[in-house]
Structure 1
Amino acid sequence: MYAVVDIETTGGNASYGKIIEIAVVVFDGNQVVDSFSSLVNPQRPIPPFITSLTGISNKLVAQAPIFEEIAERVQALTENKVFVAHNVNFDFSFVKKEFSLLGMDFNRKKLCTVRLARKLVPEAKRYNLGSICGFLGIEIKDRHRALGDAEATVQLLSALLQRDPVQETIRYSLNRNSKEMSLPPHISRTAYDSLPAQHGVYFFHDQRGEIIYVGKAINIKERVTQHFTGNTHSKKKGMFASHIHSVTYKLTGNELISLLLENEAIKKHYPRYNKTNKTFLLNFGIYRYIDQMGFVRLVTGKAGKHDKPISTFNTEAEAVLFLMEMVRQHGLCLRLCGLIKTTEKCHYEAKFGQHCPICQGDIKPQAYNERVEIALQNIAWLHTFLIKTAGRKEDEDGFVMVEKGRFLGYGFIQNDMEIHSIDDLKVHLQPCYDTQDSQSIIKSFLKKSVLVLQQPVQMYQLPFEKLSAGF
């Protein structure tokens, strides 16, 4: 026995919306045996766009019963029956929420006619109620009203039952272990079953293929399942149920690369349902160039994805302090290092107790540039290292590359590959933006690994000759 339900609401999610109309039509598989419909006073204003869609106004529900007054009738009509709706998690979540507010449990077996139609009418192009009913020649007499939509859903269910004469598909859908009814209506069971139980990053896509959410997981399949099981009242789960049309993924083999890839993907695609990590804060780098007089100049600036700074820092202040220390140690010029404006009076003597050799004209470009080169040699390989990680397969290793303090990206190689130089790995590198978030992820990972990981993180520094044996 089926209880086919349709509701109209003040909003798109049970966490903040309320029912304004409900219809329950009891169907035994052959004919309708009972029905009930009622407007419901939501005890809050109905948004104008809902009124324009349904025709249900604040005035229309002013004298209607509140849900508590019809709860007993809804309870009786749905008890010991399969709760059926078109996008069942939407309707069920609202009804369950109303009962929970009354201190009552509401648990029913669920059946979604969207998911059933996708399985049993694969030739249809669209599966919203209007489209699938039109495809099957079912007339909806009163669209966007609870009883009209519920009666159309009964006819749709009847048509689907005829396409599943031994009810194999329906029995499978009702099997609690299948998790069939917990999945978003537009994600096929085949797509769900193909998800791997491995480390990686997953992507939820909307109807147009745009990425609307990015997440990372130790077990992709398990984590995707968790989004749609349990309490379905949260806003995120409700939005997923109606907007997710496909799921894709990338395997990473380990937590560190998962974190870095998730961070990169969120910043790149700016998914509407990710709430954090969207801010794109680039690190700052130190760059060099030769001016018209032949002097090597050093400047600070934001480090883009394909820029090649001498070294990078989380903030511009850190880069400036580092440059100031270089000036002090190697007798460089404040002006040529971009630490004072070209028109500003040099205060080298006030800071370091001696005259600036450049401003005094005591040194030629060649001699000064040699000082700069000596200073740069001391930082050329500062904070350059590789972190070895698990790969996506048994015969593979992963790596994260940081060069001169700048996060370059990650990659994967065969674990029997010999590494003699950084160039050997760069051909396998997936470039990433060097952001403050990526730097924070790496630093946090290294710090925690010393404290909690059973095996120390394998980190390799130059010279790279040490890598060939260990990597």
Structure 2
Amino acid sequence: MILLDCETTGGRASHDRITEIGLIEVIDGEVKDKWQSLINPQRPIPPWISKITGIDDAMVIDSPTFDEIASELYERLQGTILVAHNARFDYSFLKQEFKRVGYDYSAKTLCSVKLSRRVYPRHQGHSLDKIIQRHQIDIPDRHRAMADTDAILSYFTIIQQQVDETLIQKSIAEILKRPSLPSHLDNQLIQKLPEGPGVYQFYDESGALLYIGKSVNIRERVLSHFSADHRHHKELDISQQLHHIDWIETPSDFGAQLLENSYIKQTSPRYNRRQTKIKKLYQISRTINKGGYAELDVILADMTAASDITSKYGLFRSKKQAQTKLLALITQYKLCQRLCHIEKKSSGSCFAYQLKKCLGACCAKEPAQRYNLRVDMALSHIKNQQWPWSTPIIVAEQSTSTQSDVTHYHLIDQWRYLGQVDKQNEPQTYLTNQQGPIFFDIDTYKILLRFLTPAKAANFPYLTIHPLEHQSPIIMDGWG
């Protein structure tokens, strides 16, 4: 195996370049060779990178380019397991650099971060800095390629001294485990799978769509379908029928979730059962009766009223689901079953009052103001989120992958995803050309809530929200 570390001009393999490589060849537990080189990235090294690594433009100006060392490096790496800390980062940069000069590089990777988590599960933090500090590894030149590679080698020595050999071998085998691919699936296609976010589609021999999935790492997720144990019958069935894989890359998980949800509902793949298009939704309504008491009832959502998701409470896929939630709220907050339309009596005390599970709102034994306050407390847990903007918005989605720097623009209004637009400043083309009804979709709503609500938006710095000035809200044509 070869232990390796790369220093780079930044974090994106599609854009940034390698500035230094250090590697150590280990055979049967013994160090056989060491090799290192500064590399001219043929572009300026950002000052903040130089501050971290100590590598600046002057140091690499007379160093070889990657093209000049590619042949020697490729020979060194052929047929070996590549070991690195956060191996995905170093491996993606090597693949991109080799690809630029005409080499198709592929290797098994052993990530020392993943190994550390397996053999030291109780430790907090598995970054190289944490490991160096925790195990007191002497490293004089941190963030230089060979120094970091030496630190990884020292860490492996410590693991061998402190951890049972059986656990070490088992952990390494699990990390290196290559899934058993279907015999009728082209292995070259697997090698082309991207390691960034997006959506993938499985097809059978006749071209029928079997399954649609999404992931932040398409290749890793696709391979997980072919684990030898096939814990679920569905995975085994898919594996036996699968003949072709297609995929669409997205800048981040945000676009992948929206695309997966949309594609599943448009195409209804054979093995996707969870996300089906919902033609009816149910909500809980709150009204005030003549006595001043709040009454709750399960109703069919109004298919023409855009305000329904915020003027009523909850969004449920079936009447039974809504009633189950209402019964839970009744129990938790001691609400009256008659005033919640569970008990069908038109007047008088409910049966729960006799069991002391209702405080008497049904027979005016409890003041309306106090009962209504408790109703509002119960409903606060299922209150739908108001649309925070007065206009439609454009969400600029920047890439989170080291292998891409693409930005996508998404048009959204009233928690409805209207589609991807070519440019942030030209969404009106989509608005004026929109054909057919624009539906409200509960799964889209939940995805957008996870990413776009003001309380959560700060967690996703790669998403930028741009309200469209002077653009009226788009008329709601229906629910779906």
Bin for the TM-score computed over the shorter chain? 0.3 to 0.5
Structure index of larger Rg: 1
TM-score, normalised via structure 1 length:
0.47
Structure number with higher relative contact order (C-alpha < 8 Å, ≥ 6 residues apart): 2
TM-score, normalised via structure 2 length:
0.46
